[in-house]
Amino acid sequence: MNFWLSISRFILKGRIPILIVLGAITYFLGSQMQYMRFSHSEANLLPKNHPVNLEYNHFLEVFGEEGNLIILATQDSTVFTTDKFNNWNNLSQHFDSFPQVDFSISIGDIKKLKKDTANEKFVVEPLYDKKPTTDKEVLAIKNELFNNLPFFENFLYNKQTGTIRSVIYIKKEIVNTIERKDFIFNVLNPTIEKFEKENNIKVRVSGMPYIRTMNSQNIIDEIGIFVGLALAITSLIFFFFFRSFRATYITMLVVSIGVIWAFGFIGLFRYEISVLTALIPPLIIVIGVPNCVFLINKYQQEVKSHGNQAKSLHRVISKIGNATLMTNVTTASGFATFVFTKSKMLNEFGIIASINILAIFMLSLLIIPIIYSFLPKPKDKHLKHLEKKWIESIVDWMENTVRHSRITVYILTVILIIASIIGVYMIRVSGSLIEDMPKGKPFFEDIVFFEKEFGGIMPLEIVIDTKRPKGVMKLSTLKRMEKLNEIIDEIPELSPTVSVLNLVKYSKQAFYNGNPKYYQLPTSQEQSFILAYTKNSSTNSDLLNNFVDSTGRYARMTTFMKDIGTDKMERIEERLQARINKEFPAENYTVTMTGKALVFLKGTNYLINNLVLSLSLAVLIIAIFMAWMFRSFQMILISIIPNMLPLLMTAGLMGYLGVPIKPSTILVFSIAFGISVDDTIHFLAKYRQELQANHWKVKKSVYAALRETGVSMFYTSVVLFFGFLVFIVSSFGGTIALGGLVSVTLLFAMVSNLLLLPSLLLSLEQRIANKKVFKKPAIQIIPKENEIDEEIDNLEN
């Protein structure tokens, strides 16, 4: 017995047990949803053993977690009035009382470094002894800070604009845990809102822990929106085409169970919800509905043709089941190639997506025939959509175009290829930690504010290994660091550095009785005097811990980057590396650049290279599928060309529209290719049947395949187009780009498969219209109709 006939018999004879098993699996996976976790750290796009990751991990071992600062700022000039000034300082002191906070620094916490001549040491004293009670006292404190304490410039104040900051240091051990989220939502945000209301002051909040928390919450909020919109839009389109509540409800039941399974598998694998895995549930809806379209449309066509419900259900499973399996396997293969990128985030996305695509196929193939087997035969009103004049006119137009205007199709194809290639050369590569974040949200507006006022919020760390204990405090090392500092000051995308240099300069200023003009590195003669004071002080050693490790071998220079892409960052990195190579001899120093932002930017380039490989792998896998199906090299080329053209057109469009290649947009090509090739498989599977039935007459077979599959291909393409278009309502730039570009690509693919593919088949008629070239596959995957009819008779008997 034919394989698919056996499957159809198994499904229809074992209806009740199958439904019970599906119910049990759904219940089990539903129970696994409780184990879904939301990501509390940035996505690391690099493998664990990548040199950039190893350098970053070494930095963390020496200096600890770097991204633990939450920064508050205000540009309101009224903060320098008595009550508001005191309330501002009380705000950070209030946060100090919470266990999640290590410590905080505000203007009220500033300690001035002073010279104790009698004991030849440095001591600290408060910026002011008691809280100011008049505006005059507040202005005196402001004047002292802004004019005499350059050590705190760009850290606690911006002299040009009058902006002041407070810095909250979150405990490093909770930075990547849910405690961080609880503190920000339950303590930080309500406290700041209350302060703003009571003092009528706008407070800006930023820092990597804060940005990550607000961004993660945005992802969580959007999952429900995407699932709801995807269900609503696809069901509306489905009903518009089929005009059947019954068919619509059955389809929504299938994809709803698919969504439960998607969430369940994420929980079962204990994966975190990231910006990518959050897309899987709505993605399953968008991919699942076309499965239902093909199955239900074929069922209704069969019922209309001969009126035998049992025969119709067997034919649906036997004929469409095979083609749908092939299409879902190719789509899953497109996603599964992400497993080979060596990126944890993409691995998880690829595994969960491919598993769920195969799962939604299984659900569609089992549930739809089983439910219809319990229901009465569709009435004539349910089949009216098959006779719609507007859809017939579209199919007629397609057939006439293929029949009479193939040269026009080829000329337009060549023009589009040339235009697309020109566009491809205009594409730029980009990627940044915050580029795709929701630009309309208050926390993003605060990011822009901090970039303008303080030079950025994304830390870039430069680690200097002097290769000997206490090597950092040697004047020769400090002078080399100062040379590097000078080049950083010249780069507008980087903020002034914070390092041991600031402390050494401050020590010299204190040695000269606080005169700000002496805020500079000491000379070799001055160093001996200042060093004597430093050795007798306990104060400086406490401050040094942030900039120098306990052995005095390693120093860190911290600067903050603006939101720049990989292209600019590469130029900046080259400029810094050139100065590092010049000032720090390799035999005496090892200098590395690291930090979360740099790791992400490096990860972007790594990811793009790997995704190009994954796309190539997807093309290869699908070519192998075609070879298995048709055993013909010509057919492999004919099937690949109409699916590569839409990818080229989308890439060209990205170049013309200025959409850069980045992690979110590079995904478009693998996803779109895996889905768009589905139409090709459906068309060619039907074409193969027609060839056998029509004794290898290509023209007759092409037109017959176009008429039967054209409607379903049009329906599914419209569903996919609007389904992916749902993602443009996202506030994330990457999700918007992904949704828009995949939608456009699939639209191009529909036109390509309905016009270019049949045109190629007709033009190459002589080369492919014989049994030797177009061999049967090793397994007969599509049964003949008389075999189905015989099986129906046996089943009924």
Cα–Cα distances in angstroms (integers) from residue 20 to residues 10, 11, 26, 100, in the given order: 15, 13, 10, 49
In the beta sheet, which residues pair with residue 153?
Answer: 157
Q: How is residue 647 written in tokens?
A: 């990818």
Q: What is the rounded distance in angstroms from the CA atom of residue 416 to the CA atom of residue 127?
A: 69
End-to-end CA distance of the chain: 17
Residues 6 or more apart in contact with residue 303 via CB below 8 angstroms: 309, 312, 377, 378, 383
Q: What is the rounded distance in angstroms from the CA atom of residue 509 to the CA atom of residue 511?
A: 5
- 8-state DSSP, 753: I
In the beta sheet, which residues pair with residue 463?
Answer: 556, 592
Q: How is residue 207 written in tokens?
A: 């820092």
Q: How is residue 189 written in tokens?
A: 């945000």
Query: CB–CB of 299/313 below 8 Å?
Result: yes
3-state helix, strand, coil in the chain (%, to 5): 70, 10, 20
Longest CA span, the chain: 113
Judged on CB neighbours under 10 Å (0-12, 13-18, 19+), 650 is buried
* Mean of the per-residue pLDDT values of the chain: 84
How are beta strands 37-38 and 272-273 bridged, if at all?
parallel
Which ranges of 595-662 does DSSP label H, i.e. alpha helix? 596-630, 633-657
Cα atoms in the 13 Å half-sphere on the side-chain side of 47? 9
Q: How is residue 243 written in tokens?
A: 């005009």
Using the Cα atoms of residue 367, residue 369, residue 370 and residue 372 in order, give the sign of their dihedral.
Answer: positive
In the beta sheet, which residues pair with residue 170?
Answer: 101
Q: What is the rounded distance in angstroms from the CA atom of residue 744 to the CA atom of residue 725?
A: 9
Collapsed DSSP state (helix, strand, coil) of residue 14: coil
Q: How is residue 261 written in tokens?
A: 């399974």
| pLDDT in the model for residue 381 | 64
What are the strands of the beta sheet with 458-465, ordered from one edge?
Answer: 554-561, 458-465, 590-594
Residue that is written with structure tokens 């404190």 in the block: 141
Q: What is the rounded distance in angstroms from the CA atom of residue 324 to the CA atom of residue 297?
A: 13
Q: Which residue ranges of the chain lie beneath pLDDT 50?
A: 1, 540-542, 772-773, 777-783
Q: Phi-psi bin for 169: left (phi > 0), alpha (psi -120 to 50), beta?
A: beta
| pLDDT in the model for residue 247 | 87
Give the E-state strand segments of 444-570 in sequence order. Answer: 458-465, 554-561
Helical packing angle, 475-489 and 566-583, nearest 10°: 150
| pLDDT in the model for residue 387 | 63
| pLDDT in the model for residue 261 | 95
* CB atoms closer than 10 angstroms to residue 348: 21
Query: CB–CB of 655/430 below 8 Å?
Result: no
Q: Phi-psi bin for 514: left (phi > 0), alpha (psi -120 to 50), beta?
A: left
How many residues are listed for the chain in this entry? 797
* CB atoms closer than 10 angstroms to residue 760: 24
In the beta sheet, which residues pair with residue 125?
Answer: 112
Q: What is the rounded distance in angstroms from the CA atom of residue 70 to the CA atom of residue 98?
A: 14
